[in-house]
Structure 1
Amino acid sequence: MKPNRVIFFIFNNVHLLDLAGAVTVFYESGCCGKNYDLHYVSPYEHPVASSGLGFTNVEPLSSVTVNRNDIVIVAGMEIQKWNRADDQLWMPWLRSAAATGATICSICTAAFALAATGLLNGKNCTTHWSWTKALQQQYPQIKVIENKLFVQSDRIFTSAGIATGIDLALYLVEEQHGAAFTHTVAKDMVVYLRRDGMDSQDSVYLQNRQHIDHHIHQVQDFIIKNLHQKITIGELAELVFISPRNLTRLFKIATGITIGQYIQSVRQEKAKHLLKTGHKIAWVACQCGYNSTSQMRKLVRARSVNN
């Protein structure tokens, strides 16, 4: 059986991580036993990344005919340098690709390209949080959803950008190969926990980390990696050589919540994810540091209601 084909569409001034994150997911899937046939296309002979890196081995659009089993991923680009005078070089190709029934995806600002083609008319979509208002204003015929990692409308996916391209790619792998295999891919990439499109862009693993306090980041990382055991403030304080009282104060200043609230939030989110992947309830409770399955059920249910 031929491997599925993933076609990465590259604009000039493409953002490297928007491209590389999704590429790595499908590459690692092959390393884990499920191969994808990766292609790179561009309307430009020698596209250049926003960081100045040039690309070779990029196929012209005219040489690649998309079929309904393909996945086309348009990586985000620097909007300020997006050359709209070149629209006719790529718009017909992308519209034709969508017409075949292929899966069409945008990462970050590439949602502007999908909107420009009309593919998002009447559909829900998203983009990076700093561009959602501009996207909605420029294309009033679409519905921009804020604070989502990615949004699906039929076979068109739009993601919030940068690292969320990884989340979207993992979701697409899971659609084809299941949650257990995708968990293996994520683990191989050292992605702690895959998020799905219904999670907000500021998932608990991103929430409360907008600060620059290295000690508090260390504490948060330790908590995430040791949820299966009892975690005390004294233990955390020793980790960063700060008194328990001072750590409690600094954590609240940096994150806006208490250490206890943070631990509970992370445990609830991890438990929700593990339950979705089909693990036994008792094992999930143990992995997340709950004393009993009933305690876990109650707290996870409470988080779902509050969200």
Structure 2
Amino acid sequence: MTRVVFVLVPSLHLLDLAGPAQVFSTAADLGHAYPLHYVADDADVPTAQGVRLHAGVDWPDLTPADLVVVPGWRSPRLSGRPPLSRRALDRLRAHHTAGGTVASVCSGADVLGRAGLLDGRRCTTHHELQDELARRYPRAHVVRDVLFVEDGRVVTSAGIASGIDLALHLVAGGHGPAVAARVARAMVVYARRNGDESQASAMLRHRAHLDDAVHRVQDLIDARFTEPLPLAALAAAAGCSERTVTRLFGRATGLTPLRYQQLLRLERAENLIGRGVTVEAAARAVGFGDARMLRRLRARG
């Protein structure tokens, strides 16, 4: 179980908050516990969109497994009055020091900077605020034109909707990309994970479509990619003929079902090999009869 604590500041953007909250809530609906908490310096929190929110003023007891998220707020500049009290900043810093993860959306990176959590780390924020963030925290390395950056249990994301990508990334890290893909599908959003480096898994990279029949086929392959999967079984999952499922799958993903399954096997095998497993053992673990096919796929790149 991961408790998610949202730290609310005056004039926060609703989507900065609601996007990640919806991701974790949907993951909970799928059986992965993410209790949500909302705290603020003052119980009454005005938002940039005019809705007033009510939050607790007492933080829950946190463990290293928990996540603290600071949504962004409406501000043309980062400078000015600190958006959070020194007490709240101390709580943020203490949570990270104890081994916990902290995250921000958009201008929320300024709060992490005020807490001293950006020093020596890569980070990002909304493109209109990147220059100011770099000036304000010269010991931070501001990465530009990315959706999110993770460095030392400090996760920062760009503006507004990128909080969804950040949250999907964290769900994928905790429960695997298949769960993140299911969350994205339930939310009817593209399952993106293109952060500061190539970290888009095959499961998520090829989910950027809205074809429900193809999603059902991918759900089956994701769950059983180490097994032989006859085209007839995939067609049954899609509710159409074998010829039609091949055509729909190719149109939605640019791949055949077999090639998609091979990519999942290859990705998992590379992960095992990176952890010290031999090529032969990795090949068997992902469903290949021997290592020859795995070696061919690795050579193909």
**Fold match (TM-score > 0.5):** yes
Cα gap change, 1:18 to 1:169, in 2 (>3 Å): same
Partner of 1:91, secondary structure, is: helix
TM-superposed CA distance for 1:92, in Å, is 1.4
- Amino acid in the other structure paired with 1:154: G
TM-superposed CA distance for 1:199, in Å, is 6.3
Unaligned runs of 5+ in 1: 201-222, 230-273, 298-307
TM-superposed CA distance for 1:154, in Å, is 1.0
- Amino acid in the other structure paired with 1:8: F
Conservation of the 8 A alpha-carbon contact between 1:168 and 1:196 = no
- Amino acid in the other structure paired with 1:59: G
- Amino acid in the other structure paired with 1:288: T
Aligned residues between the structures: 225
CA–CA distance in 2 between the matches of 1:184 and 1:151? 23
Cα gap change, 1:289 to 1:156, in 2 (>3 Å): closer
Identity of aligned residues (%): 34
CA–CA distance in 2 between the matches of 1:70 and 1:278? 31
Cα gap change, 1:188 to 1:92, in 2 (>3 Å): same
C-alpha RMSD of the superposition: 3.4
User: Is 1:71 matched with 2:67?
Assistant: yes
Conservation of the 8 A alpha-carbon contact between 2:209 and 2:252 = no
Aligned to 1:243: none
Aligned to 1:148: 146
CA–CA distance in 1 between the matches of 2:184 and 2:155? 20
Cα gap change, 1:164 to 1:278, in 2 (>3 Å): farther
Partner of 2:35, secondary structure, is: strand
TM-superposed CA distance for 1:80, in Å, is 5.1
Aligned to 2:17: 19
Conservation of the 8 A alpha-carbon contact between 1:149 and 1:199 = no
Aligned to 2:107: 109
Aligned equivalent of 1:175, options 173, 176, 188: 173
TM-superposed CA distance for 1:225, in Å, is 5.3
Aligned equivalent of 2:49, options 45, 51, 54: 51
Conservation of the 8 A alpha-carbon contact between 2:180 and 2:191 = no
Conservation of the 8 A alpha-carbon contact between 1:67 and 1:102 = yes
Conservation of the 8 A alpha-carbon contact between 2:146 and 2:194 = no
Aligned to 1:128: 126
Cα gap change, 1:290 to 1:164, in 2 (>3 Å): same
TM-superposed CA distance for 1:157, in Å, is 0.3
User: Is 1:288 matched with 2:250?
Assistant: no
Conservation of the 8 A alpha-carbon contact between 1:171 and 1:196 = no
Aligned to 2:183: 185
- Amino acid in the other structure paired with 1:124: R
TM-superposed CA distance for 1:117, in Å, is 1.5
CA–CA distance in 1 between the matches of 2:172 and 2:88? 29
Aligned to 2:279: none
CA–CA distance in 2 between the matches of 1:121 and 1:278? 42
Unaligned runs of 5+ in 2: 199-207, 215-220, 232-245, 264-301
Conservation of the 8 A alpha-carbon contact between 2:143 and 2:196 = no
TM-superposed CA distance for 1:35, in Å, is 2.2
Conservation of the 8 A alpha-carbon contact between 1:66 and 1:100 = no
Aligned to 1:119: 117
CA–CA distance in 1 between the matches of 2:64 and 2:4? 11
Conservation of the 8 A alpha-carbon contact between 2:125 and 2:157 = yes
TM-superposed CA distance for 1:178, in Å, is 0.9
Cα gap change, 1:114 to 1:278, in 2 (>3 Å): farther
Conservation of the 8 A alpha-carbon contact between 2:9 and 2:83 = no
Aligned to 1:137: 135
Cα gap change, 1:278 to 1:161, in 2 (>3 Å): farther
Cα gap change, 1:290 to 1:118, in 2 (>3 Å): closer
